[in-house]
Amino acid sequence: MKIYLWNNDGWKLFEFGNLKSIKKDLEKRSIVIANYAKIGDYAKIGNYAEIGNSAEIGNSAEIGDSAKIGNYAKIGKFEIFSELNILCQLGILMNNGKGTFYKAVRKDLKSLYNNGCYQYKIGRGDADKTLKRDHQIDCGNGWHWTSYWNAVGFLEGKEGVIISAEIEMDDVLSIYNKIRVKKFSNVQIVNIK
């Protein structure tokens, strides 16, 4: 079991074999997790939180200090690989399983990173069907795309342009403040005036 717990210097990820082995750390923070509670991946629980019997807390949910969650409550429970998670993480609304995502690249449409090894082409895309979905890997093989404003932030202080591409939900490999994908299509230069 992995669980984030608050330390004086911020959230820290703890890994334990079972609930009994984390009892001391939970008691130290006055956190109570009752019978049959389910806590999703990347959930964050503040000090003095109480989680009732059979409560379910979804992936990436954050529970503040002194929060009380009653029996059978369901908090932030949605699938990692879902359109809702993309909306929550990136602010991008998918339509029928497809969305438009953005990336900062050099003026010659080569990647800003990886020494400019990859060349994007207008109107085209690319695919690597061998890549597997794994939310534990945020910055691995595949292509990385994000929201328009995140792309602008990546470009800040560098010479380059923003491009967009169409990406289908089935091709998303991981979701954070960016997505990692195995396929994208229809690359375009974004000109916002």
What pTM does this model have? 0.62
CA torsion angle 25 30 33 38 (round to 10): -70
- List, in sequence order, every beta strand (DSSP E) within the chain: 2-7, 10-15, 32-33, 38-39, 44-45, 50-51, 56-57, 62-63, 68-69, 74-75, 98-105, 126-127, 143-145, 161-168, 172-175, 179-181, 183-189
d(CA 105, CA 103): 6
pLDDT digits (tens, 9 = 90+) for 22-49: 777 777 777 777 666 667 666 666 666 6
pLDDT at residue 112 tops 60: yes
Average pLDDT of the chain to the nearest whole number:
82
Tens-digit pLDDT profile for residues 116-172: 789 999 999 999 999 999 887 878 899 999 999 999 999 999 999 999 999 999 999
Give the number of C-alpha atoms closer than 13 A to the C-alpha of residue 23, restricted to the C-beta side. 5
In the chain, the amino acid numbered 115 is N
What are the contacts of 23-32 at 24+ separation with CB within 8 A? Answer: 29/5, 31/5
